[in-house]
Amino acid sequence: MALVKSYKIDAVWASWGNTIDTRFYLGDNLYDIQEKLECDCEWYYRGTMTRDGNPRHPSYIKSGDEYKWFPVCDYAANWRYADVYF
């Protein structure tokens, strides 16, 4: 992806919280984004995951929380065309 190469993006902060559970199109979008990035960059989240297993939104993170590696490919694969549409 030209944007990644031109800006030298090597890390992405995953931080959408549980919003992805209520706006299901976000899961498909996430899958497309991580596929376009072709795993050329590492994904991270901060603090702890939510009870639902999503990377916590920044407004719920403590200032001293560390970044941890996020397995975006596995996570996004669970969302691809998920049978959750109403």
Whether 14 is in a domain gets the answer yes
When pLDDT is cut at 50, 70 and 90, the band that residue 3 belongs to is: low
Boundaries of domain holding 62: 9-77
Whether 70 is in a domain gets the answer yes
pLDDT tens-digit series, residues 8-26: 778 999 999 999 989 878 9
Whether 71 is in a domain gets the answer yes
Average pLDDT of the segment spanning 36-49: 87
Whether 82 is in a domain gets the answer no
pLDDT tens-digit series, residues 46-71: 999 999 999 999 999 999 999 999 99
- Counted domains in the chain: 1
Whether 39 is in a domain gets the answer yes
How many angstroms separate the CA atoms of 12 and 10, rounded? 7
The residue to which tokens 């009870």 are assigned = 51
Whether 44 is in a domain gets the answer yes
